[in-house]
Every structure is written in structure tokens, then in C-alpha cells.
Amino acid sequence: MKVTKKTLFAILACLYMARRPKSKVSAEEIAKHCRTTTGFMNLIFLDLKKASLITSKKGPSGGYSLDIPFTELTLDKIIRATDNLTNKSIDEAIENSSNDEVKTDLLNLENSFVSIYNRGFTKLTIKELL
């Protein structure tokens, strides 16, 4: 199964925020964690914010956080917020990742896709990937 790089990083960003439910995190922090650029992460956040999946706060104590409980945040919502083109496989993303936590998240994500496909993206939540 293939998903876009944008969608993969959107899922990783949502996982990162779900692990820090009481914190605001910066695009820079998540980009550094995921080993991507802040500009790319900001593009993803625009899509997620437009879909009301995340919220942001400006200022010194600002940042991004999930706007809905991670128990209700489905992969379908994330995919629809970003895109569902098929130009980047999970295997390629795992191969290219040098961050162990991101690799683990991607491996867990890849292992979940068989059951996700059978159950449907509308039911699997970020909580189940944590």
C-alpha cells in the first residue's frame, strides 16, 4: 500500500502531538524529530488546521496541538486533510529514516495497514497506533 510523504509525515506529526496531549509543540520541534524541513511541516499543518484536526497558538508559549481527541482522530481524517495520492511507500520512508522513534512509528504504521485496509481508515484512530 502506498501513501504520500505528506500524509506519512502528517500521521507522524499527529502521533507526536498525541504523545504530548497537554503541550503545544512547534513546527520546528516536530520537523526536527521527523528529520524534515520546517517549511514542509508548516505546509502539512496548514492542511491539518484547515480540516480542524489541529489548532495553533502564536507567541512564546504557542505551538500546535490536536484539536480533537486522539481517540477520535482517524487515519481517514488525516489522509483526507492532506491527500491520498500514491507516490511514496512506507517501505521507502522507513528505509530513508535515521530516527529510531520515527522508524518504529513507521513500522507500526506499516504493520497496521493490513488490518486498516480490512477495517477501513474511518475506524482506526491515532490512539490505536500509539
Domains in the chain, ordered, with CATH?
Answer: 5-129 (1.10.10.10)
Other beta carbons less than 10 A from residue 42's beta carbon? 13
Helix or strand run (H / E) with residue 54: strand 54-57
Residue-wise pLDDT for 5-19, tens only, equals 898 899 999 999 999
Q: Angle formed by the axes of helices 5-18 and 75-82, to 10°? A: 130
**CA atoms 96, 99, 100, 102: torsion sign:** negative
pLDDT in tens, 64-95: 999 999 899 988 889 888 874 444 556 666 67
Cα–Cα distance for residue pair 8/103, rounded to 1 Å: 12
Residue 24 has a CB neighbour count (10 Å cut-off) of: 16
pLDDT for residue 87: 40
| Closest C-alpha among 25, 109, 23, 107 to residue 64 | 25
Task: Give the SS3 label for residue 56.
Answer: strand
In terms of Cα–Cα distance, which of 37, 55, 32 is closest to 45? Answer: 55
CA–CA separation, 65 and 84 (whole Å) = 23
C-alpha cell belonging to residue 87: 507516490
Q: Which residue has the higher pLDDT, 77 or 97?
A: 77
pTM score: 0.70
pLDDT at 85: 41
List, for residues 20-65, the tens digit of each pLDDT value: 988 999 999 999 998 999 999 999 999 999 999 999 999 888 899 9
